[in-house]
Amino acid sequence: MACFVYHGEYWVQPTVACLAPCSMTAVQDPERKKALLLRLKRVEGQLRGIQRLIEADTDCEQVAQQLAAARKALDKSFFMMVGCVMAQGDTPPDDVAELLSRFA
């Protein structure tokens, strides 16, 4: 069964990794948990780099570019999680829509 996740102004199909088991309350799949933690550690590194750029009085456009990259990395994590919820098939579409409207 194909499922799609709303991403901004369009729907995208989640990656194969989204099809691993998970729940609304916690990441159950060890591989998914590991991948998510690695992604968040990369974002943390990006944010530390952004702090250094600001401290060094770097041009605002460069700082904004790095902030956008960090935001996109967090968005990817969020939409991967929503895709997992949809792939499980036990969450009514209205609940998924509410989740997206609350957090996306």
Residue-wise pLDDT for 62-88, tens only, equals 999 999 999 998 998 888 777 766 666
H or E element at residue 4:
none
Does residue 92 belong to any structural domain of this protein? Answer: yes
* Exposure string over 8-35, b if 16+ CB within 10 A, otherwise e: eeeeeebeeebebebeeeebebeebeeb
The pTM of the full predicted model, rounded to 2 decimals, is: 0.62
54 occurs within a structural domain: yes
Check which CATH number belongs to the domain holding 67 and give it: 1.20.58.1000
pLDDT tens digits for range 5-59: 555 555 555 554 444 444 455 666 778 778 878 888 999 999 999 999 999 999 9
How far, in Å, CA of 33 to CA of 27, rounded?
Answer: 6
> What's the pLDDT at 65?
97
Question: Could you give the number of structural domains in the chain?
Answer: 1
